[in-house]
Structure 1
Amino acid sequence: MASKDRLPVLNQINYFVEVARQQSYRSAAQQLGVSQPTLTSQIAALEKTLGVTLFERSRSGTQLSPQGRMLLEPAQEVLQASLRFSDLARTMADDSQTTYRLGVPSTLGPYLLPYVLPELHARFAKLKFYVRDAPPLQLEQGLLAGEFDLVISPMYSESSQIIAAELFVEPLKFVIPSDHRLAGQQFIEPADIKDESVLTLENSHHFHYQILDICNKLGAKVLRDYEGTSLDTLRQMVVMGMGVAFLPGLYIHSELHRPEALHVCELSNMPIVRRHSLVWRNTAPGRVFFRELAGHFREIIGQQLASAVKVLG
């Protein structure tokens, strides 16, 4: 059946169910708000489409044929399914009542979302996120391919296909073993880490290249043979004295550090940060709501994490 014929057939099924309910073409026409000739012709068209006779008309009234009796219940189910479909579509027209696929880097999501998502749920009870983590480059590729509806990322291309709303700036902290020669200082001179052995994540992470750039500028050495698979493993390698590292501020904020094992500090007059944005496709149906959502993200982050990051916008 051609798609252009489906809507008229749905109307015809509605007419069929109403005639069966009223057992009268005249009463059904009045109930439906159509003329009796129109109703009669539409039932005839449905019978022709189906290849069966639906009603027996006599002086005593209009009765369902045997075939009509068999088709009545499926017809009612079709109409009920149509109503459910329409109701669901109306609900989804409210973007705050939809489930979105959200992508985040593994170096950010576990340390940000526990602070943000509960408050978002309190504001939008029916808003849901299916969260997946991936490196930033994969997040952007997935966004453009339709695998994600939204991503939070420290990097994105200057593309006409993408809209980005900046959320916050996160500092990168310098961490060293507690018995390191520089331990105990809140600020360390950048020149003091020349020739230091710096641990970082694997090169699938954008974070890796940011640290590599910093080390190249400061004359520090990146230990490529001991790259961590996660921030936790990176931290443990520092504790074990295998080197020093830069760790994101939100990760530091989320961890209960033991002062006797690890010292956290910063480089003097050299703030090292990464900027995070909420990113979506410029053709996304929910793009107006996404911009509003970015505002909620910033507000919640400002309330929950003001001591750890700087909110933008």
Structure 2
Amino acid sequence: MVHQQRSGGRLSRTGDTRDTDDMSRLLAPRLAYFAGVARTEHVTRAAQEMEVPQSTLSRAMVRLEEDLGVDLFARHGRTVSLTPAGRAFLTSVERALAEIERAADEVRADADPATGKVAFGFLHTMGAETVPGLLHAFRADHPRIRFSLVQNYGEAMLEGLRAGELDLCLTSPVPDAPDLVARRLDEQKLRLVVPADHRLAGRRRIRLAEAADETFVTLEPGYGLRRITDDLCAQAGFRPRIAFEGEEAETLRGLVAAGLGVALLPPPPFPRPGVVELTVTAPRAAREIGVAWLAGHPDTPPVAAFKKFLLSKRGTLLPT
């Protein structure tokens, strides 16, 4: 099948091997010019309104028609009118330009120092108390800054940073990667959580080695707290016997309360009935909490302000 041939132009056949991306790069700079000429139906007037030389605008329209292989305008002296192909093209061009303008407005709004947006990720265990407290304190001085909040496990949040989906994240362990910047903010002690009727429930402190024969419930492999649990058990001289793996710490507490095992967990946001939480005296059971962001990535003013705020919380991020 052969498309309409433009006078003096090239034939464009279905199945043309020109790459779509190459065509987009050719056409994109001329779309606003085309819309301006189509709106005024006068090259001189359009050039004046867009503040570009008339010769530049005329050449751009000729090249646009040549690249498309169709006539977009019928010439009538100094005026022009759209051909049927031109009218069809204009509908799509106006839609594309409107979408570009909408996207530009959105990114400008997100970068606004007073009303912009921060994409912030954090661990599930920090969602009930720590993060709400941080946001409340930050917004006392920045009341109109908006947040896109994402709760996830550490590795997923680091991938979110790399993909440009997150600006900052609170995570543990503190990452050490060449493409990321991370700063330690605080430390959170871990406790051995046992059922309320467990043989160890009357204790206040315990060496982790004393739990070597217990059945554990843990987070799934890939979670930072799972790696810490495995490492601490190894330091205590045993490999944990795992009965259940989950995705959220409070679910694990529920499993412990049901008598299905014991778990190494950070303190709960609220007391949980049915369990007893024991201080681990050896090995030292704690996890570091840090903030991370993508190296070399420029911050918008809202992100810079929130990053500065988080860094000011070193040593005071978590309740004592």
Length-normalised TM-score, structure 1: 0.66
- Aligned partners of 1:151, 1:128: CA distance in 2, in Å? 11
- Correspondence for 1:276: 289
Using the alignment, how far apart are the partners of 1:192 and 1:81 within structure 2? Answer: 61
Cα–Cα, structure 1 residues 34 and 119, in superposed 2: closer, same or farther, change >3 Å? Answer: same
1:13 aligned residue (24, 34, 43): 34
Q: What aligned pairs does 1:203-282 form with structure 2 within 5 A after superposition? A: 204=221, 205-218=223-236, 224-229=241-246, 230-240=248-258, 244-249=262-267, 252=268, 254-258=269-273, 261-267=274-280, 272-282=285-295
* CA deviation after TM superposition for structure 1 residue 115, in Å: 4.5
Aligned ranges 1:1-313 → 2 under 5 Å: 2=23, 5-17=26-38, 19-20=40-41, 24-49=42-67, 51-52=70-71, 54-57=73-76, 62=79, 64=81, 66-67=83-84, 70=87, 73-74=90-91, 76-93=94-111, 97-98=116-117, 100=119, 102=121, 104-109=122-127, 112-116=130-134, 123=143, 125-129=145-149, 131=150, 133-134=152-153, 136-137=154-155, 139-140=157-158, 142-143=159-160, 146=163, 149=166, 150-179=168-197, 183=201, 187-188=204-205, 190=207, 193=210, 197=214, 199-202=216-219, 204=221, 205-218=223-236, 224-229=241-246, 230-240=248-258, 244-249=262-267, 252=268, 254-258=269-273, 261-267=274-280, 272-286=285-299, 292-297=305-310, 306-308=318-320
Quick one: structure 1 residues 17 and 81, their matched pair in 2 at CA, closer, same or farther if it must change by over 3 Å?
A: farther
CA contact (8 A) 1:178 1:263 kept: yes
Counterpart-to-counterpart distance in 2, 1:296 and 1:125:
13
Q: How far apart are the structure 2 equivalents of 1:34 and 1:67?
A: 27
Q: Structure 1, unaligned stretches of length 5 or more?
A: 309-313
Tell me the distance in 1 between the aligned counterparts of 2:145 and 2:295: 26
Rate the CA distance shift 1:184–1:6 in 2: closer, same or farther, 3 A. Answer: same
Q: Which whole-Å deviations, capped at 9, do the CAs of 1:197-247 have from their partners, x for residues lacking one?
A: 36341561443443344445556x665143453534543454355665432
In 1, Cα distance between the equivalents of 2:245 and 2:61?
Answer: 71
Deviations 1:120-151 (A, max 9, x none): 6774543313x2524x45555x3586385354
Q: Among all aligned residue pairs of Structure 1 and Structure 2, give the percentage whose two residues are the same amino acid.
A: 20
Q: Is the 8 A contact 2:184 2:290 kept in 1?
A: yes
Aligned CA distance change for structure 1 residues 47 and 19 (closer, same or farther; 3 Å): farther
Q: TM-score, normalised by structure 2?
A: 0.65
Name the SS of the counterpart of 2:185 in structure 1: strand
Aligned equivalents of 1:29, 1:233: Cα separation in 2? 66
* Equivalent position of 2:11 in the other structure: none
- The verdict on how the C-alpha distance between 1:202 and 1:173 changes in structure 2, with shifts beyond 3 A counting, is closer
Structure with the higher fraction of residues in helix conformation: 1
**CA 1:12–1:26: 2 relative to 1, 3 Å:** closer
Paired AA for residue 295 in structure 2: N
Kept in 2: contact 1:165–1:291 (CA 8 A): no
Pick closer, same or farther for the CA change 1:115–1:18 going to 2, 3 Å. Answer: same
Partner SS for 1:127: strand
Q: Which residues of structure 2 form unaligned runs of 5+?
A: 1-21
Q: 1 CA distance for matches of 2:318 and 2:173?
A: 22
2:54 and 2:34 map into 1 onto residues whose CA distance is 16
Residue 13 of structure 1: how far off its partner (Å)? 0.8
Q: What displacement does 1:97 show?
A: 3.6
Letter in 2 for 1:201: T
